């Protein structure tokens, strides 16, 4: 498996584009994205667990209920959520795209992100459709920019790998910066592949993958209304159809995991106002559930996040988070250390503090990527969660988000 350029366009038979159509006031910010497969593709998706869901989710669920899709249309700047005519607008987005591409509206995935509770005007989308379709190309960067809201940079990744004697590809783009919490977040993730796989197995592998990727990130404890992960696999690589959980399935599963894990870390690192990526690695747990619960509690703790921002090796806050997480652990067996490119330093052994150099700890915690290593010393299960530090800028960004 090797990293390649192209994002969602790295897979054979996919093109993408992104434009500013007028949904957002700032003309320098793109607000409409399109991804198209030249042939019918197996489709799978996972959605927010928030009871309040954006209208595009209902339409997408209906459109790909048969397990197939051809295109993805997405706007930023408006979530199309809690609106009386939300379903109508989402369906109109699909019909406008279908007409422009000469495909069926029922084969289109639709997504929106932005302000909740504000009516979405269809006219800018309608007026921009010709430009959007006319600018389809082999680079996904413009589409990646068009789905951003408070993100500071586009997020895209792709890899090439081999199944049988065929070179295959998988790539993705994502947006996500705030309202990020485990069990999907205010993120949109679109992944494409040219692997030939049945819709049933694609849905299975996607549903399982998110449990260790996107469901293991947190920025601020809020779970959004429009979260969506969609995957299209069009079979253009012409590998033997993956119709059972065989060796080819495992290869595809590994490639998908690389894409989702990479994008998960990029989302966490780009948390609103963030200056550091936090990675919590838990091992020695009695079972996987305990490991995941501990990891998510630690990266989700506002006090831990604030300490990491201040380069303060306040390990007591980590023990505190573990204690209220609800996970059944033996607190007298817990070891904790911090590591980064500047080295590592042990701060807790058997649930008690150990002598350490504050000066060295500050150097370790001064890096942009910090690893919090926790050994529960009670089993063999492990898990990893990702988050970011809590800075002054988070409040500034969210204090005037609508204005």
Active-site residue list: 186
How many Cβ atoms sit within 10 Å of the Cβ of residue 346? 15
Residue 297: half-sphere exposure toward Cβ, Cα within 13 Å: 19
351-354: Cβ within 8 A, 24+ apart: 351/319, 353/315, 353/316
**How far is the C-alpha of 48 from the C-alpha of 50, rounded, in Å?**
5
User: Cα-flanking dihedrals φ and ψ of residue 383, to 5°?
Assistant: -160, 160
Q: Are 75 and 19 in contact (CB under 8 A)?
A: no
Q: Are 290 and 328 in contact (CB under 8 A)?
A: yes
- Work out the angle at residue 168's Cα, subtended by the Cα atoms of residues 35 and 193, and round it to the nearest 5 degrees: 25
Strand spans (E) along 294-364: 335-340, 343-349, 352-353
């Amino acid at each position: 498996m090797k990293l390649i350029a192209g994002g969602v366009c790295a897979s054979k038979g996919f093109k993408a584009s992104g434009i500013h159509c007028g949904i957002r006031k700032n003309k320098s910010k793109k607000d409409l994205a399109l991804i198209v497969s030249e042939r019918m593709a197996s489709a799978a998706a996972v959605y927010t667990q928030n009871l309040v869901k954006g209208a595009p989710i209902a339409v997408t669920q209906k459109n790909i209920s048969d397990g197939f899709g051809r295109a993805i249309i997405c706007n930023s700047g408006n979530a199309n959520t809690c609106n009386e005519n939300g379903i109508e607008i989402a369906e109109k987005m699909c019909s406008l795209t279908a007409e422009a591409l000469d495909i069926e509206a029922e084969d289109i995935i639709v997504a929106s992100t932005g302000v909740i509770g504000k009516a979405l005007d269809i006219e800018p989308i309608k007026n921009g459709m010709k430009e959007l379709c006319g600018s389809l190309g082999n680079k996904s960067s413009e589409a990646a920019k068009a789905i951003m809201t408070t993100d500071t940079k586009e997020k895209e990744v792709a890899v090439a790998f081999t199944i049988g004697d065929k070179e295959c590809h998988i790539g993705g783009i994502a947006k996500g910066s705030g309202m990020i919490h485990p069990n999907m977040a205010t993120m949109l993730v679109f992944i494409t592949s040219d692997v030939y796989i049945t819709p049933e197995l694609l849905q299975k592998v996607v549903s399982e993958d998110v449990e260790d990727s996107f469901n293991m990130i947190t920025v601020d404890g809020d779970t959004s209304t429009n979260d969506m992960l969609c995957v299209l696999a069009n079979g253009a690589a012409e590998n033997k159809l993956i119709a059972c959980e065989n060796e080819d399935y495992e290869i595809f599963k590994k490639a998908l995991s690389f894409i989702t894990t990479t994008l998960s870390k990029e989302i966490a690192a780009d948390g609103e106002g963030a200056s550091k990526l936090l990675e919590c690695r838990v091992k020695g747990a009695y079972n996987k559930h305990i490991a995941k619960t501990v990891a998510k509690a630690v990266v989700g703790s506002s006090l831990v996040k604030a300490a990491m921002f201040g380069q303060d090796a306040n390990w007591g806050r980590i023990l505190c988070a573990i204690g209220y997480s609800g996970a059944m652990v033996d607190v007298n067996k817990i070891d904790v250390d911090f590591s980064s490119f500047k080295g590592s330093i042990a701060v807790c052994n058997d649930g008690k503090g150990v002598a350490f150099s504050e000066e060295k700890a500050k150097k370790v915690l001064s890096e942009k990527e910090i690893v919090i290593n926790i050994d529960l010393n009670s089993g063999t299960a492990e898990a990893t969660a990702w988050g970011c530090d809590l800075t002054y800028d988070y409040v500034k960004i969210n204090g005037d988000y609508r204005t």
